[in-house]
Amino acid sequence: MTVLLNSTGQPEPSIETSRRLRALHAGLHLKFLGSGDTFWSVCMTWEPDDPRWATVQSGEISPERAFDIIGYLPMDCNADQAPAYLERMFRTWPAERVRNIANHIDRYNAGVVADAADHALGEVLDAADPSAPRKRGRPKKVR
């Protein structure tokens, strides 16, 4: 899959993947944070009632940094492959508001990408232990 660059030479996420993320939750977006990374950071903007907004209002933190990184998506992942990665990521995130997004993915996928949802479920069910905890953290860089 080809990765498009913006006018500053930074990678731009797929418009379709970004649109699908926003359809799941308005605060979800992809960001490229590193110079050598091969992953998009999946970010969620802080909710309006999040107490951390006080640090933005006081000027301690820039509004552009008012988000949490909730996982990573391979840069070459297309819009049809993304739901499988995202559902797995949402289900393992410790915050309840993020896990609840995973409950809505099936309904969204049923109308948009039913085959991708079936594939994701098959991957989970075919795993040696689908209930095993997954490691958290940034994926290792591929060199």
Please classify residue 133 by burial: count the beta carbons closer than 10 Å to its beta carbon, then call 0-12 exposed, 13-18 middle and 19+ buried: exposed
How many domains is the chain partitioned into structurally? 1
Let me know if residue 36 belongs to a domain: yes
Let me know if residue 51 belongs to a domain: yes
Mean pLDDT for the stretch of residues 4-19: 86
Q: Give 64-76 pLDDT, tens digit per residue.
A: 999 998 888 988 8
Smallest CA-to-CA distance from 79 within 28, 17, 32, 22 is with 17
Let me know if residue 143 belongs to a domain: no
By residue range, what is the domain housing residue 78? 4-126
Let me know if residue 134 belongs to a domain: no
32: three-class secondary structure by DSSP: coil
Let me know if residue 139 belongs to a domain: no
Let me know if residue 14 belongs to a domain: yes
Rg (CA), the chain: 16
Per-residue confidence band for 140, with pLDDT thresholds at 50, 70 and 90: low
Let me know if residue 79 belongs to a domain: yes
